[in-house]
Amino acid sequence: MAPSLLVLVVSSVWTALSLPLMMLGVAADGEGGGRCPPVLCGNVNISFPFRIVPEQATDTNCGAIGFQVQCSNNTPYLGFYGGDYWFQILNIFYGNGSMLVADIRKLQDFNISDPRGCHAPTSNSTTKLGYPFYNSPANKNLIIYNCTRGPPTAERERLVETVCHSNTFFRVAESFDKSGGYSSYFLAGCDAVFIPVLGGSGKVNASNYKELISDGFLLTWQLPSSPPLPPPTSGKFTPGANKSV
């Protein structure tokens, strides 16, 4: 290979490699290259691409988009305070891009001393989840049924009644059904809400719902790739100029 060609190849590889890293440095502070220093919150090491954001803040100048962490009473939570999701982070596995989180808000349901009455959760844990986080296929699912009437006897023996009674039940979905979904777990006359759980190997006892929820489930994450580049501009940048056609 001619030396000049080699230089070209090497430099374009370098450009390809460094571009996403530059993009990750959202609003880089100029010297840190966009990486926040590692911080311990409780016993969880919060490092790049994650970053701690102060309460009420909506941005910091390091870390990657979507990887904000709130550290509250030495407990790390994913997302902004009052944001879309509020998962407690139990562990982050930087080596394989995954993390263990618990949907602890769901534990506030099934509270028999709640003045509003004992109630079952009404939304799936993963409802608000989106890029860059994905539910891992390694998780099982704790299903909570809220039925308008008692389920058929044949189903009844697979279900565990919740502390709320009034036709609300737990069941653990060990795996997808043949169609690749959970359709075989839906019961006529019952609403079904799904909470991913790790559950470990073997059969999971749905009676231990508190432990199952607090032991958390696996999320995987994907680092943002370079967003599409804006069209090349010649001359001065005018805000809103590209909106008029």
Contact residues for ligand NAG, defined by CB under 6 A: 38, 40, 45, 47, 93-94, 96, 98, 108, 111, 113-115, 118-120, 124, 127, 136, 138, 146, 164, 166, 168, 182, 194, 205, 207-208, 218, 220
Residue with Cβ nearer ligand NAG (89 or 120): 120
Residue with Cβ nearer ligand NAG (16 or 138): 138
Buried b (16+ CB within 10 A) or exposed e, 71-98: beeeebbbbbeeeebbbbbbebeeeeeb
Give min distance, CB of 31 to ligand NAG, in A.
18
Give min distance, CB of 166 to ligand NAG, in A.
5
Residue with Cβ nearer ligand NAG (16 or 32): 32
Give min distance, CB of 205 to ligand NAG, in A.
4
Pair 144, 162: CB distance under 8 Å:
yes
Give min distance, CB of 50 to ligand NAG, in A.
10
Residue with Cβ nearer ligand NAG (120 or 187): 120
Residue with Cβ nearer ligand NAG (179 or 238): 179
Give min distance, CB of 167 to ligand NAG, in A.
8
